[in-house]
Structure 1
């Protein structure tokens, strides 16, 4: 045990090394996002839950999603659930995959080569998406993601910090051969073949897999992906190169736009790509996209301010309940406000069953369940009141401590929830209890504070107000 790992020799060995060891976060995120969007029974909250499991990813999605490129109308978005409503699930899929992709590869040791690969991927994606929008493609976001991941083998290989990868990097760099020849000689396969294998192992499917497997396909959407990459190569070759002439002709054939306008679009896309790279945190890649660094247009990250975030989310909730109220969206925003704004580890909204004998999970954030789809259910079946049904009898929210109220932590509660200090807020509509909100610091073990209780209680009251207004409008 613990001996040195055997050097990868075959395409399968390298695929397993890069898939399992180097980018597991991207692998899981990609799979979960696709699953949440492809299952028609699942809604925005399932997608939001996948994103909210990763605080860094959440912050990045909201930051980049608020940029003019994604949100030209500059609508305010403080919550992921609000971002999904404003931008749409397809844009969020594009954004989240791009963010998780960058998150997984920005830690590379060989910064120079890795940043070149990242720059190429993002630049090609922006160019391809613009062409897709121009020609009225059914899903420009899908074209963006397919172009971003088109050179997946190259990106995964050159961004790998594994010792075996570093050794192979050095051998390729020193070989003096052209890239494709060096790959074949040193590795025994091409990085394009590696990309095909990784795409299959990650079950990315659709246009992504199609464009990687058959880049010269006559399929119009595959051609959009390829043209995005060809334009990037052509820009390196020069504005009057044969490659650029071919790209302009292809763009013209697809769009029927005049050549001067096509050149102007390509230039604008380059600027956009450089700005987006900066917002993803890839400053060096941004400089590769546009040799002279883009200055002044991208605001620096503001330090995290918990109270400011609470205020922004409360504003979003107030805005929502002052118009047409969607109860699912209201509770998603309230739960996200408590989870992110008050920095709770686990947050849960449960509804009381019509016979008042069970509480059933409606939404949850931060729970590490063995089976993610499994829903929590607490029964009112014990001899004395348990933690949750006791809270339903209270007129206000409660702050509970296991050592002060051990009897409330019944076997059912301990098995499903654990024995943790927590806040519980009963939720009422027209003086009838309809459910509760539960939250705790059970993962990181930090003590709860009075400020936390006041802030969480404020969000719970917004849920009550929204529910009351909804009932009044329904009569």
Structure 2
């Protein structure tokens, strides 16, 4: 391949080649009419013309992040009614964009860059409730698109593009200089050019521009972008401390609260990646690194009130109208950090795939379960622990010392010793399973009480949440 240098040369190269970067679905969505009735019909047609896209959009629409009622959304038109046009449009746009980059056999460097963009999008969206809760999905999409130039260049497979990303990852503070040296142009100019040419939205364009006084939405996008570039240096690195300061100033929170939120959203990014069906990104997301770093920090002296403090935090989020996903994440943390249970998960039931999908986790090694464990419900055997639990659907504390029962499918989690299970339901419909084990340690009666309390709290919150969504 001949060397390409300069903005015009790169823009021609990206336009002339049959790029997998921006498929026709993304273009069509970005060019939708402003007329409410026309754009609703057009969006429906765009989604329905691709059966694979239809399936993916409906799966995401039915996830806990969007479908608060848990009433199955089976059609695109129902999805627009239940979630709103903008939500379904952004789900379709994000899903199509991610799929277009991952088509074929993407190189590890492209997967890593896309994972950073995805992580940036989740972090940026988490800042919105502090600023303006109506624009969460708009910020998510803008942050996902913020580095569209880098993703487009990597998808060409050109050596100069790969060298730029490798060097920039080592020295993100020198991005502009490295870009000019290796590409002959500042990467931000390519970002701006593609965002404009492909009509990717005003917020993405604004965030990519050099502006001394950006809007709060653009600031959230750029803060998420900065965070995704520097988090690999460590949650306590000087670069991240500077980002916590900016977060605290932007959102009116403490730096300690900002750090806590970054850790929670690193975990949330993995949960949302599973909702989008892009497990290939999980290996490149920073959730495992962040969890390990925080685990290495010296814990504060225990007071005996840790579990109650977690319960209080869950209640606070609940009364503030916080989303159910955050409450589930706090719930597994309450059992792990507050009650001292070694490993905890919440797995969502996927009725269409007839499987358990591990989403929320806490405890050593549990992050890897998202990537490696999938429990198929139609392969359970009568008499094994999970089969019997699903039949009865009551909280259970299984103690091998009191009678051996085959672990069956649960052996994929390698539990050693006691196991606890509890159903999470809306009305009589099972939507998820709360799981805990003691790893190498026996569990205590007090811990089973805490476990049941969390299950009861979640069932109540699910019921209230579903009732509110129905109205």
Shorter-chain TM band? 0.5 to 0.7
1:22–1:160 Cα contact (<8 Å) kept? no
Pick one of 241, 248, 255 that aligns with 2:251: 255
Pick one of 17, 34, 40 that aligns with 2:36: 40
2:21–2:101 Cα contact (<8 Å) kept? no
Counterpart of 1:318 in structure 2 is: none
Counterpart of 2:162 in structure 1 is: 169
Pick one of 136, 152, 157 that aligns with 1:140: 136
Is residue 2:110 matched to residue 1:114? Answer: yes
TM-score where L is the length of structure 2? 0.56
Pick one of 43, 48, 57 that aligns with 2:53: 57
Counterpart of 1:211 in structure 2 is: 207
Matched residue of 2:97: which SS? helix
Larger deviation, residues 47-56 vs 284-293: 284-293
Q: Distance in 2 between matches of 1:15 and 1:104?
A: 19
**1:325-358 CA distance string (max 9 Å, x none):** xxxxxxxxxxxxxxxxxxxxxxxxxxxxxxxxxx
Counterpart of 2:242 in structure 1 is: 246
Q: CA deviation at 1:302?
A: 8.0
Q: CA deviation at 1:215?
A: 6.1
Q: CA deviation at 1:216?
A: 5.4
Matched residue of 2:36: which SS? coil
**1:98-145 CA distance string (max 9 Å, x none):** 111111100365521111111111111111111112322442211111
Q: CA deviation at 1:156?
A: 1.1
Counterpart of 2:13 in structure 1 is: 17
Bigger share in helix: 2
Q: Distance in 1 between matches of 2:276 and 2:259?
A: 26
2:23–2:100 Cα contact (<8 Å) kept? no
Matched residue of 1:231: which SS? helix
1:234–1:247 Cα contact (<8 Å) kept? no
Counterpart of 1:419 in structure 2 is: none
**1:64-89 CA distance string (max 9 Å, x none):** 22111222332311111111111111
**1:212-249 CA distance string (max 9 Å, x none):** 12365432221111111222234222222222222222
Q: Distance in 1 between matches of 2:212 and 2:275?
A: 32
1:128–1:143 Cα contact (<8 Å) kept? yes
TM-score where L is the length of structure 1? 0.56
Is residue 2:300 matched to residue 1:275? Answer: no
Q: Residues 216 and 154 from structure 1, CA distance in 2 versus in 1: closer, same or farther, beyond 3 angstroms? A: farther
Q: Distance in 2 between matches of 1:27 and 1:208?
A: 18
Q: Distance in 1 between matches of 2:54 and 2:282?
A: 22
Q: CA deviation at 1:211?
A: 0.8
Matched residue of 1:189: which SS? coil
1:108–1:159 Cα contact (<8 Å) kept? no
Q: Residues 35 and 182 from structure 1, CA distance in 2 versus in 1: closer, same or farther, beyond 3 angstroms? A: closer
Q: CA deviation at 1:171?
A: 8.0
Matched residue of 1:36: which SS? coil
Q: Distance in 2 between matches of 1:206 and 1:71?
A: 27
2:153–2:161 Cα contact (<8 Å) kept? no
Q: CA deviation at 1:185?
A: 2.2
1:70–1:87 Cα contact (<8 Å) kept? yes
Counterpart of 1:71 in structure 2 is: 67
Q: Distance in 2 between matches of 1:251 and 1:92?
A: 29
Q: Distance in 2 between matches of 1:276 and 1:22?
A: 30
1:91–1:141 Cα contact (<8 Å) kept? yes
Q: Residues 169 and 40 from structure 1, CA distance in 2 versus in 1: closer, same or farther, beyond 3 angstroms? A: same
Pick one of 103, 119, 135 that aligns with 1:123: 119
Question: Which of 1 and 2 has greater Rg?
Answer: 1
Between the two proteins, the alignment pairs up a number of residues equal to: 298
Q: CA deviation at 1:179?
A: 5.1
Q: Give the superposed CA RMSD.
A: 3.2
2:147–2:191 Cα contact (<8 Å) kept? yes
Counterpart of 2:78 in structure 1 is: 82
